Amino acid sequence: MAFRDVTDADFDEQVLKAGRPVLVEFTAEWCGPCKQLAPVLKAVAEEERERLDVVAIDVDANPDTAVKYGVLSMPTLMVFKNGEPVWSRVGARPKRRLLEELAEAL
């Protein structure tokens, strides 16, 4: 599955009920580091497509999910497994570092 957007309305279905781990980027249109991170996430989505779904949710358009998970800074990355957040980091990072950090969550 390619990198895609989710909303408050479909977050449960797309993330919490997914049959495998999902990396969620909490993002915002105005967020510079989020824009830097977008190509990294697209590459990770492609590289890890067998093991992981990668989605983004805009916190301004979808505040309920951000509030539910206590997201205060953008970008916040979270991995969800079996409907629960199991890993979280704040800030942009290079692909190699992100893959190393994700290894512990997957």
Distances (CA, A) of 53 to 2, 42, 49, 60, 72: 7, 11, 6, 22, 23
Instruction: With beta carbons less than 8 A apart as the criterion, state whether 91 and 32 touch.
Output: no
Q: How far apart are CA 9 and CA 12, in angstroms?
A: 8
> Do the bridges between strand 53-58 and strand 4-5 make them parallel or antiparallel, or are there none, so unpaired?
parallel
Q: How far apart are CA 55 and CA 51, in angstroms?
A: 14
Options 24, 34, 44, 57, the catalytic residue:
34
Options 31, 44, 71, 105, the catalytic residue:
31
The question of whether 31 is a catalytic residue gets the answer yes
> So which residues are the catalytic ones?
31, 34
